[in-house]
Amino acid sequence: MKIQMMVWFSSALLSLTAMADSDAVDAVRFALQENSKLPVEEVTVSQMPGLYEVVLSDGTVLFTDQSGTYFIVGDLYQATGRSLVNLSDARRNDQRKKLIAAIDESEMVVFSPEPGMKKTAITVFTDIDCGYCRKLHQEVPELNRLGIEVRYLAYPRAGLESESYDKIVSAWCADDQRSALTRAKTGKKIESRDCKNPVAQHYALGGAVGVTGTPSIIFEDGRLLPGYLPAERLAQQLGIASGS
What's residue 192's pLDDT?
95
Residue 130 bears catalytic tag: yes
**pLDDT values of the chain reduced to their tens digit, one per residue, 244 residues:** 555 544 444 444 334 344 456 788 888 888 888 877 888 888 988 888 889 989 888 778 889 998 888 998 888 888 888 888 888 888 889 989 999 999 999 999 999 999 999 999 999 999 999 999 999 999 999 999 999 999 999 999 999 999 999 999 999 999 999 999 999 999 999 999 999 999 999 999 999 899 999 999 999 999 999 999 999 999 999 998 766 5
Domains and CATH numbers, the chain: 2-98 (3.10.450.70), 108-237 (3.40.30.10)
What's residue 37's pLDDT?
80
What's residue 6's pLDDT?
47
Please identify which of the residues 92, 96, 151, 157 carries the catalytic annotation. 157
Closest among 176, 170, 164 to 197, alpha carbons compared: 170
Please identify which of the residues 92, 127, 134, 151 carries the catalytic annotation. 127
Q: Sort 65 into a burial class: Cβ within 10 Å, 0-12 / 13-18 / 19+.
A: middle
Residue 223 bears catalytic tag: no
Residue 175 bears catalytic tag: no
Neighbours of 215 (CB within 10 A): 24
Please identify which of the residues 96, 129, 133, 134 carries the catalytic annotation. 133
CA atoms in the 13 A half-sphere facing the CB of 139: 23
What's residue 113's pLDDT?
96
What residues contact residue 4 under an 8 Å CB cut-off, 6+ apart?
none
Is 0.85 topped by the overall pTM? no
Residue 127 bears catalytic tag: yes
What's residue 11's pLDDT?
47
Could you write out the DSSP letters of every residue in 45-67? E-SSTT-EEEEETTS-EEEE-TT
What's residue 20's pLDDT?
54
